[in-house]
Amino acid sequence: MTELALPHPHDHTHPSGITRWLFTTNHKDIGTLYLLFSVSMLFIGGSFAMVVRAELFQPGLQFVSPHFFNQMATMHALVMIFGAVMPAFVGLANWMIPLMIGAPDMALPRLNNWSFWLLPFAFTLLLATLFMPGGAPSGGWTMYPPLVLQMGMAFPFLIFAVHLMGLSSVMGAINVITTVFNMRAPGMTYGKLPLFVWTWVITAFLLIAAMPVLAGAVTMLLTDKFFGTSFFNAAGGGDPVMFQHVFWFFGHPEVYIMILPAFGIVSQIVPTFARKPLFGYTSMIYAVASIAFLSFIVWAHHMFTVGMPLAGELFFMYSTVLIAVPTGVKVFNWVATMWRGSMTFETPMLWALCFIILFSIGGFSGLMLGLAPVDFQYQDTYFVVAHFHYVLVTGAVFAIIAGVYFWLPKWTGRMYDERLGKLHFWLSTISVNVLFFPQHFLGLAGMPRRIPDYAVQFSGWNMVSSLGAFAFGASQLIFLYIVVRAISGHGAKASAQVWEGAQGLEWTLSSPPPYHSFNEPPKVP
Amino acid sequence: MNVQPRTANIAAGNRRLAWQLAAGALLMTGFGYLLVPLYQVFCEYTGFNGTTSRINHGQAATQGIDRTRWVTVEFAANTSVDLPWEFSPVVASVRVHPGEMVLAQYQARNLGNRAIVGQAVPSVTPGTAAAHFRKIECFCFSRQPLDPGQALTLPVQFQVDTDLPREIGTLTLSYTFFEQRGGRISSARPRLTKL
Ligand code: HEM
Ligand SMILES: [Cu+2]
């Protein structure tokens, strides 16, 4: 399909320049804004990680003070979680959901504009703390009191930044649900929704349920600090451990917020390059839904060592390990989709395959951590760091990159350079394992997380890990180059279909799609 | 501006659903706050997290004393870092029978050069024993003002329940003193103050 022949009353009011981006309510523009924001946060957060790994290259204090080190570790996490990964998924949702369900736009376009433009404000507040007396937040992204309450000027900035990010993602979630419930093209039944859409709907419900709890928790911190309440202040009858309960009640669903849309992306890519429909479509949806449900009753696996009674340890251990079942169903279905498929290995497929393997490694270390008796050894060591980087970097981030390669030709109308894409893939995959795999060994040997210096017996693997980190960081510059080239109109022209095996409404539109698409509902096959 | 919902119906439906979802988000904010009292009630009820319970003399007297059994109660004392007090138990531990009424003493002295009001926060380990540890009188029930150099003896009267699980032979009663600034803290949320 080319430019829709039907005249549209608003087509001519299409402002250009800065106001186009400031006031845009077009889902494609907003998707682009989210993705650009995300990639800039990826590089800012990445540079913080480089500082961390440079300092840990050798034992002893080399480059930065311990206080600055702690700021870098904390800010790295906050920027990556709330600035890079979550906005990337919202950006993909904005671009792809209306195209996939045959809607002309998101259901609430002006809300959509707002939810994006809150983010630059939030991150200005957050990043400005780096230049404040007392420095940026440094007590860990988990913001545990009483440590977090000892922060300097940065404290209220951190809290308001978290409020804004939370508001932004809840607004985004409302928009996604409303769009999918009300804006589907006739014939696009729930049983036909692409998995990316399904996973996003479930994620959106998680966001609506979890983010407000975080907002509540940080507001309690704020009133404890400035208004004399004592939710977490033992002197006033409060309890700092309670913060951990409230935080992780948000925190564990949050980690699934960052992985369910990734499952969706991979479920789009694998069938495309295996040239077979997704195996077990319905079971995939049930698996995602049960993961989402379970994610609300496992939170205390982050707190096995706070002194819970045996019954609590057991409950949270069993519920945690139970999550492995639906997760296993998903991995099984992806593998079964590839079984006897006629597979080709273009760049998006490589990233998706690597996601499946490396995410599973992260899932396995998660299972180990989920066993209460052994978690007493692993808690707060580098083993935990290795675990969540396997699920978040080689999980969430790899899926996002896979999605970008998959849809970039659709968005820009240009094919990226396949050779460069593969180079980016191989460099990243090798270096990311050099970076994170040794952290398992460090953790098992007892190296604590969040420290700027360490005992000399940890030197070897730390050096290896840092070298991997520098290589991984540098490899992402290739990604930047590839994306910039496609945006600036270099590369072969992409067809509407783009990928031979691609299925779905989004591939019926030209590449790039017209600014306004599906003003007339498409015919759903 | 460029969305063109197919009918006005859809636009109205969108708005309604959006408000419903926003109300859901608001409810979840409330739920976040609700976790606080829920947690307190849960801890008090189960003794999770070392929360001890309080009873009065009448209730205490109704318990028989189990003279066949000995339990060691150890006393620990801590002060928060910014509190210039010396604080310690008079004896490190006592051996008691379950059901017996026991009086123990701590002592505190203000080493600083200003008057300070302190509040002691108790906790019992192991956590499973906390529900079976009852305080009848305690210096932690009220704030303790100390002038510079002043010393004070602080009594606590308690009872270990006769139904304390068999496998527990030793419990530790620990207090941490915090400075109470301006008295604002416990007056802000007296109901949730753990005793
Ligand atoms: C099979 C699935 C999983 C299981 C059983 C699992 C289990 C655990 C456990 C028990 C911990 C706490 C470790 C400790 O602090 O001692 C943990 C930490 C963590 N997990 Fe997972 N996990 C799983 C999947 C995931 C996924 C999919 C993500 C994110 C995409 C994730 C992100 C994290 C993060 C960020 C932390 C560390 C939080 C912190 O302390 O800063 N996990 N996981
Ligand atoms: Cu978790």
* DSSP letters spanning B19-59: HHHHHHHHHHHHHHHHHHHHHHHHHHHH-GGG--EE--HHH
Question: Is the C-beta atom of A88 inside 6 A of ligand 1?
Answer: no
Q: For B15, name the nearest residue in chain A, comparing CA atoms only.
A: A108
Based on the fold, state whether residues B31 and B58 are members of the same structural domain: no
Is the domain of B71 the same as that of B38?
no
Assigned domain for B187 exists: no
Note whether A188 contacts B: Cβ–Cβ < 8 A.
no
What is the distance between the alpha carbons of residues A196 and A96, in angstroms, rounded to a whole number? Answer: 9
- Does the Cβ of A301 fall within 6 Å of ligand 1? yes
**CB nearest B28 (choices: A104, A212, A245):** A212
Among the listed residues B61, B178, B46, the one whose alpha carbon sits nearest the alpha carbon of residue B124: B46
- CA A441 – CA A249 distance, rounded (Å): 29
Is B106 found in the same domain as B55?
Answer: yes
One-letter identity of residue A15: P
CB contact under 8 A, A236 and B49: no
Give residues 155 to 194 of B whose Cβ lies within 8 Å of A: 176, 178-180, 182, 184-186, 188-190, 192-194
Give A24-80 pLDDT, tens digit per residue.
Answer: 889 999 999 999 999 999 999 999 999 999 999 999 999 999 999 999 999 999 999
B70 touches chain A (CB under 8 A): no
B186 found inside a domain: no
Which pairing describes strands B85-89 and B101-110: parallel, antiparallel, or unpaired?
antiparallel
Q: What part of B 5-34 touches A (C-beta under 8 Å)?
A: 5-6, 10, 13-15, 17-18, 21-22, 24-26, 28-29, 31-33
In this complex, which of B22, B32, B182 lies closest to A174 when CB atoms are compared? B22
Residue A146 forms contact with B (CB below 8 Å): no
- Predicted pLDDT of residue B52: 64
- Averaged pLDDT, A84-95: 96
The pLDDT > 90 percentage for chain B reads 21
- Pair A513, A100: CB distance under 8 Å: no
- Check residue B106 and report its DSSP letter: E
- DSSP H stretches of helix in A295-417: 310-322, 324-338, 347-370, 372-378, 382-391, 398-412
Q: Give CA–CA dist A411/A414, Å, rounded.
A: 8
Terminal C-alpha separation, chain A: 15
- The answer to which of A161-170, A225-234, A255-264, B17-26 has the lowest mean pLDDT is A225-234
The pLDDT value given to residue A213: 95
Give pLDDT tens digits for A360-403.
Answer: 999 999 999 999 999 999 999 999 999 999 999 999 999 999 99
What pLDDT was estimated at residue B187? 32
Domain-located, residue B193: no
The answer to whether A216 touches A229, Cβ cutoff 8 Å, is no
Q: Which two tokens stand for residue B38?
A: 């829920």
Helices (H), A56-108: 66-78, 86-101
Q: Are the beta carbons of A516 and A4 closer than 8 angstroms?
A: yes
How far apart CA B63 and CA A523 sit, in angstroms, is: 79
Q: What is the mean pLDDT of chain B?
A: 80
Distance linking the first and last C-alpha atoms of chain B: 59
Query: Is B168 contained in some domain?
Result: yes
> Does B71 share its domain with B30?
no
Q: What pLDDT is recorded for position A278?
A: 94
Task: Please tell me the residue having the least CA distance from ligand 1 atom 16.
Answer: A379
- Pair B94, B126 in one domain: yes
Please give the mean pLDDT across all residues of chain A. Answer: 92
Question: In degrees, to the nearest 5, what angle opens at C-alpha A241 toward C-alphas A221 and B104?
Answer: 120
B53 has a pLDDT exceeding 80? no
pLDDT at B1: 41
For residue B30, how many other CB atoms are within 10 A of its CB? 12
Mark yes or no for CB contact B14/A310 under 8 Å.
no
Residue A422, class by beta-carbon neighbours within 10 Å (0-12 exposed, 13-18 middle, 19+ buried)? middle
What is the predicted pLDDT for the residue at A230? 80
Look at residue A3 in the predicted model and tell me its pLDDT.
Answer: 39
Least confident interval from A276-285, A323-332, A502-511, B163-172: B163-172
My answer on whether B96 and B9 are in the same domain is no
Contact state of B17 with A249 under an 8 Å Cβ cutoff? no
CB A8 to CB B14 under 8 A?
no
The contacts of residue A40 (CB under 8 Å, 6+ apart) are none
Residue B192 is assigned to a structural domain of this protein: no
Task: Quick: pLDDT tens for A290-342.
Answer: 999 999 999 999 999 987 888 889 999 999 999 999 999 999 999 999 999 99
Asked if A321 is an interface residue toward chain B (Cβ–Cβ < 8 A), one would say: no
* DSSP label at residue A319: H
| Dihedral pair phi/psi, residue B123, rounded to 5° | -160, 150
Looking at the fold, whether B61 and B156 belong to one and the same domain comes out as yes
C-alpha dist (Å) from residue A288 to A205, A291, A519, B91: 12, 5, 31, 58
Beta bridge partners of B175: B77, B122
Give the β-pairing of B144-146 and B116-125. Answer: antiparallel
Domain boundary among B16, B31, B46: B46
Residue B189 has pLDDT above 80, yes or no: no
Least distant ligand from the CA of A394: 1
Judge if B39 and B72 occupy the same domain. Answer: no
Query: Which of A17-31, A491-505, B51-65 is least confident?
Result: B51-65
Cα dist from B91 to A87, A494, B76, B144, whole Å: 59, 83, 10, 21
Pocket of ligand 1 contains residue A370 by CB under 6 Å? yes
Tell me how long chain B is: 195
Whether the predicted pLDDT of B193 surpasses 50 = no
Residues B115 and B127 both lie in one domain: yes
Above 80 in pLDDT, residue B49? no
**How far, in Å, CA of A374 to CA of A51, rounded?**
31
Q: Is A510 exposed, middle or buried (0-12, 13-18, 19+ CB in 10 A)?
A: middle
Q: What is the pLDDT of residues A233-269, one digit of tens each?
A: 776 667 888 999 999 999 999 999 999 999 999 999 9
Q: Dump pLDDT digits (tens) for A135-167.
A: 999 999 999 998 998 888 999 999 999 999 999
* pLDDT class of B55 with cuts at 50, 70, 90: low
Q: Residues A38, A91: contact at Cβ < 8 Å? A: yes
Strands B71-79 and B170-179, bridge-based pairing: parallel
The C-alpha atoms of residue B173 and residue A201 are separated, in whole angstroms, by: 50
Q: Which helix (H) or strand (E) holds B18?
A: helix B8-46
CA of A90 to the centre of ligand 2 (A): 22
Question: Which residue among B2, B29, B193 sits closest to A516, beta carbon to beta carbon?
Answer: B2
Has residue B189 been placed in a domain? no
Please tell me whether residue B82 adopts helix, strand or coil conformation. Answer: coil
CB atoms within 10 A of CB B144: 19
Neighbours of ion ligand 2 (CB under 5 A): A 252
- What long-range pairs does A223-232 form, CB within 8 A, spacing at least 24? A224/A145, A224/A149, A225/A149, A225/A155, A226/A156, A228/B182, A228/B184, A228/B185, A228/B188, A229/B188, A229/B189, A230/B185, A230/B186, A230/B188, A230/B189, A231/B36, A231/B189, A232/A145, A232/A146, A232/A149
Q: Which residue of B has its CA nearest to A213?
A: B32
- Whether B172 is covered by a domain: the verdict is yes
Instruction: Find, in chain A, the residue whose alpha carbon is nearest to that of B124.
Output: A307
Number of domains in chain B: 2
Pick the residue of A182, A208, A244 with the most B CBs within 10 A to test the interface with B by mutation: A182
Active centre residues of A (catalytic) = 76, 105, 141, 168-169, 252, 254, 256, 267, 301-302, 327, 330, 449
Within 8 A of A217 by CB-CB distance, chain B residues are 32
Q: What is the pLDDT of residues B85-124, one digit of tens each?
A: 999 999 999 999 998 889 999 999 999 888 888 888 888 8
Report helix, strand or coil for A329: helix
The CATH number covering residue B113 comes to: 2.60.370.10
Domain-located, residue B97 = yes
Amino acid A460: pLDDT = 94
- B61/B136 same-domain check: yes
Which runs of consecutive H residues, i.e. helices, occur in B88-134? 127-130
Whether B114 and B62 map to the same domain: the answer is yes
Q: Which of A115, A103, A111, A113 is nearest to A182 (CA)?
A: A103
Q: Quick check: A105 and A96 in contact, CB under 8 A?
A: no
**For residue A9, is pLDDT > 60?**
no
SS3 content of chain A, % helix, strand, coil (to 5): 70, 0, 30
Q: The domain containing residue B121 runs over which residues?
A: 50-179
Select the residue of B18, B32, B182 nearest A217 (Cβ to Cβ): B32
Give yes or no for residue A368 CB within 6 A of ligand 1: no
- B88 bridge partner residues: B107
Residue with tokens 């920027």: A79
Tokens of A250: 């948000």
Contact status of A218 with chain B (Cβ, < 8 Å)? no
Specify whether B12 is located in the same domain as B67. Answer: no
Confidence of residue A5 (pLDDT cuts 50, 70, 90): very low
CA distance A236 to chain B (A): 5
pLDDT at B195: 32
